[in-house]
A and B are shown apart, each in its own frame.
Chain A
């Protein structure tokens, strides 16, 4: 069965600094991978996804993520964060059984 680990529960960065949120997955084959964002009081919104091809994927709001098979990772990055990026971020994996499993989330705090 697939699983997702987001090792950082909270991350704090200064506005304008770069960001990397970690995600590791466990699955026997190449999974489909997703990053979602949940802003305060809002529903979950898809940032980006990987299912094949180029291992560096671009998403909305200036985010990108890189799939590294050798490390079973799919880390989310942004070169320069904005105060509006403060939210909770979830990594998710979909296996061939169609079940989508989410990590526990990383809450991002932005310092002015």
Chain B
């Protein structure tokens, strides 16, 4: 079946512009996660959704970052007034039963470059 998809795969934007990154999880997966992967920094947790609710937003680096999820499915990560330090690969993952040791399924990522 279809896996987690993300779009766009690559995004180049100018400093100060807003960007939207999209994630389509696997159908039926209730949990959705966003991570940021920068060189040498591993996977930095950003936000987690259970259904449409985000019980944990603690990883969002600043108030320029926001995310929403609608219909328990698609999620959008928005970065306002992008800065060069926002350049990274943004990964989305979904899971059918969080908190039970069931693994996450990752998308291919969106590579964001802020010039």
Residues of A within 8 A of B43 (CB): 90, 92, 102, 105
- Report the interface size for chain A: residues with CB under 8 A from the other chain: 25
Asked if A98 and B31 make an inter-chain contact with CB atoms under 8 angstroms apart, the answer reads yes
Asked if A44 and B106 make an inter-chain contact with CB atoms under 8 angstroms apart, the answer reads yes
Residues of B within 8 A of A99 (CB): 45, 48, 56
Asked if A101 and B45 make an inter-chain contact with CB atoms under 8 angstroms apart, the answer reads yes
Judge whether B87 is part of the interface by a CB distance below 8 angstroms: no
Judge whether A46 is part of the interface by a CB distance below 8 angstroms: yes
Besides the contacts A94-B99, A103-B42, what 19 more A-B pairs have beta carbons closer than 8 Å? A6-B42, A43-B106, A43-B107, A46-B103, A46-B104, A49-B101, A51-B100, A90-B43, A94-B98, A94-B101, A97-B56, A98-B31, A98-B48, A98-B55, A98-B98, A102-B43, A102-B45, A104-B40, A104-B42
Per the bound structure, the CA–CA distance linking A92 and B107 in Å amounts to 17
A54-112 contacts to B, CB under 8 A, are 90, 92, 94, 96-105
A26-50 contacts to B, CB under 8 A, are 32, 34, 36, 43-44, 46, 49-50
- The residue on A at minimum CB distance from B31 is A98
Give A residues with C-beta under 8 Å from B. 6, 9, 32, 34, 36, 43-44, 46, 49-52, 90, 92, 94, 96-105
Residues of A within 8 A of B35 (CB): 102
Known contacts A34-B103, A105-B42; A100/B33 CB under 8 A: yes
Give B residues with C-beta under 8 Å from A. 31, 33, 35, 40-43, 45, 48, 50, 55-56, 91, 93, 98-101, 103-104, 106-109
Per the bound structure, the CA–CA distance linking A34 and B48 in Å amounts to 18
Asked if B108 and A43 make an inter-chain contact with CB atoms under 8 angstroms apart, the answer reads yes
Per the bound structure, the CA–CA distance linking A105 and B31 in Å amounts to 23
Residues of B within 8 A of A100 (CB): 33, 45, 104
Most buried by B among A9, A44, A49: A44
Residues of A within 8 A of B100 (CB): 32, 51
Per the bound structure, the CA–CA distance linking A105 and B98 in Å amounts to 22
Residues of B within 8 A of A103 (CB): 42
